[in-house]
Amino acid sequence: MKKKFLFFIVFFIFSIINFSLISASCQKNQIDINTASLEELDKLAGIGPVKAQAIINSRPFNKLDDLLNVVGIGDVTLSNIKQQGLACVSDEEEDGEEQEDNEEEDESGEDKEDEEKEDKKETIKQIKKISVNPEENKIQEEQEIKPIILSPISPKSIKTEPYKKELDKNKFAIYGLVFLGILVFFLFKMKKQKNEKTEFK
């Protein structure tokens, strides 16, 4: 009975912890990919202005794994974003609450409104820069997507000047060992002949 009760408590605590992780509500220092500006998305690992614009065009997202549907974002980029821990996707209710909180904060001070206007202007400028040259954007995306192909290296192509000197040193060592072996052989032979002469006398 105690084991079942203990198991139930552990299971309950574990499910509470998992529920809080699964709900993945965005904290103040995190970036919600559904509402973030181009500049904010640019802060994510592996995301530049082109990919940030692609994220904006592909909204809304239900979870971070949906970023795989964005052009130019693969498994590696997604894992880097997750490891960074800066990106999040908030629920719709939380988005509404955040927007209400943001509106209340905006009403409290004119400075914040001015900053937001400047941020929006900069974001629009960046979007215009991206959209003005769509061919350059395609070229950049193609360059980022191309896989790196490694060709096998033959041992002959590795030999350069520093390595040749090391190889020469290795050859001298081998020659030295061969010479030493021959010398030891002759010394033993001479000793054997000397011992034979002394035995017969």
User: Which pLDDT score, from 0 to 100, does residue 20 have?
Assistant: 46
On whether residue 61 sits in a domain, the answer given is: yes
User: Which pLDDT score, from 0 to 100, does residue 185 have?
Assistant: 95
User: Which pLDDT score, from 0 to 100, does residue 94 have?
Assistant: 43
Give the residue from 73, 88, 103 where a domain finishes. 88
Beta-bridge partner residues of 88? 32
Provide the greatest CA pair distance for the chain: 122
Of 39, 50, 88, 85, nearest to 67 (Cα)? 88
| Residues ≥6 apart with Cβ < 8 Å to 28 | none
Place of tokens 């997507």: 145
User: Which pLDDT score, from 0 to 100, does residue 178 have?
Assistant: 92
- Tell me, what CATH number does 74's domain have? 1.10.150.320
User: Which pLDDT score, from 0 to 100, does residue 115 have?
Assistant: 75
Q: How many domains does the chain have?
A: 2
The whole-angstrom separation of Cα 131 and Cα 84 is: 28
Q: What is the pTM of this model?
A: 0.36
User: Which pLDDT score, from 0 to 100, does residue 22 have?
Assistant: 44
Enclosing domain of residue 79? 26-88
Q: Give CA angle at 4 (2, 22), nearest 5°.
A: 130
User: Which pLDDT score, from 0 to 100, does residue 95 have?
Assistant: 42
Backbone φ and ψ of 88, nearest 5°: -155, 165
Q: Tens of pLDDT along the chain (201 residues)?
A: 667 766 666 666 666 555 444 445 677 788 888 888 888 888 888 888 888 898 888 888 888 888 888 888 888 888 888 888 888 887 644 444 445 555 555 555 566 667 777 777 777 766 666 555 555 555 555 555 666 676 666 665 555 666 566 666 678 778 888 999 999 999 999 998 888 877 765
The whole-angstrom separation of Cα 162 and Cα 196 is: 52
Backbone φ and ψ of 38, nearest 5°: -60, -40
Instruction: For CA atoms 89, 92, 97, 100, give the dihedral sign.
Output: positive
On whether residue 44 sits in a domain, the answer given is: yes
Segment holding 15, helix H or strand E: helix 2-23
User: Which pLDDT score, from 0 to 100, does residue 156 have?
Assistant: 59
Give the residue from 40, 59, 88 where a domain finishes. 88
Of 35, 141, 51, nearest to 88 (Cα)? 35
